[in-house]
Amino acid sequence: MYPLLRSLLFRLPPELAHEIAMAGLRVAQAVPPICWALERGASSEPALETRVLGLTLRSPVGLAAGFDKNAFAVDALVALGFGFVEAGTVTARPQPGNPRPRLFRLSADRALINRMGFNNHGAAAAAIRLASRRGAVVGVNIGKTKLATEAETEDDFAASARAVARIADYVVVNVSSPNTPGLRDLQAATKLAPILKRVRRELDAAKAGSPTPLLVKIAPDLADDDVDAVTDVALELGLDGIVATNTTVRRDGLRTPDSDVQAMGAGGLSGPPVAARALDVVRRVRTRSGGKLVIVAAGGIETAKDAWDRIRAGASLVQVYTGFVYGGPRIARDIGRGLVVLARAAGYANVSDAVGSEGTAPARACITRS
């Protein structure tokens, strides 16, 4: 069914196709029986249940930020089988984003290029919508308002954090999008630490005694030493985790003709072309942190094997975005079911038992038989 629908949607400009898909999800969310029907079809298995960040998730497979920027359809998305949804990126002030066209398909690579520019209705508007959700586990990804000056950056992030602190299940500081001028410069440890400290204070003040978990999202284009530096900052400041990774500005190794890629212009590339580097970053964060940080893996995850590799490399959670566009509404449940098969084949009772198991003996080798 979806291949036919996708062929129709792919005849449309990518952003229009996305808006149509979101409209359908909003209709489903507005009619509870539709969500309930979807939920029955996407019921998860106990082996997928994951406890992390103080949360209990029915599946470690989530939807990455960027798909539901304004938190319009989180319940419908969870009904499709996602264990959690990351809304956003939202900013302190509403903004239109970059001029269209700003989203492009590289079908030969099952990839996307976007330069959306954090188009959103603002953090406060997202918080209002999330207050009425029906049980979906939702993180909120916050970014810098384009018009905020360098001197205003900390205040800008703090305003977004305050708006969502009481309603988000976790918060991600996004300093890794390539589409807001100067944003990636904030990944430098000296610039990142003050922002994270300020956001942490806002979250602590909003929910004294049980502060909202805080993570930072990093780019795959960071040098290894810089990945280590960000990991060290996260550990020093007591962050809960790292989202690895965002999109890449690199364009090497693509099947799509160079002339077509150049015509698309600037932006972040997502999908399978970023997968190898994203996996390397997960491994590096895991090693550098000694397993003390929760890792949320994103970037080129399309199959259960992709997700399994990230989990064994150290990720507790995985996220899809481009894979959802190409794979359709069954992707969360298909990846989840595949993970259960892979975990059982390796001797694990639960998928979460395999986190960070890369390089160790298979679990089944430790099972003794009477």
So which residues are the catalytic ones?
Answer: 177
User: Which of 171, 150, 151 lies closest to 161, judged by CA?
Assistant: 171
User: Which of 66, 86, 69 lies closest to 78, judged by CA?
Assistant: 86
Residue 124's contacts (CB-CB under 8 Å, 6 or more residues apart) are 163
User: Which of 297, 259, 255, 304 lies closest to 276, judged by CA?
Assistant: 297
* Cβ atoms of 116 and 144 closer than 8 Å: no
* Cβ atoms of 126 and 71 closer than 8 Å: yes
**Angle at the Cα of 87 from the Cα atoms of 282 and 6, rounded to 5 degrees:** 85
Helices and strands counted in the chain (H then E): 13, 13
Residue 89's contacts (CB-CB under 8 Å, 6 or more residues apart) are 65, 66, 69, 118, 120, 141, 142, 143, 174, 177
d(CA 170, CA 312): 23
* Cβ atoms of 322 and 274 closer than 8 Å: no
Q: Strand ranges (DSSP E) for 69-198?
A: 84-90, 103-106, 111-114, 138-142, 170-174
d(CA 256, CA 310): 26
* Cβ atoms of 350 and 71 closer than 8 Å: no
d(CA 25, CA 235): 38
Task: Kindly give the interhelix angle for 189-206 and 153-164, rounded to the nearest 10 degrees.
Answer: 30
For 281-300, letters b (16+ CB in 10 Å) and e give bbbbbbebbeeebbbbbbbb
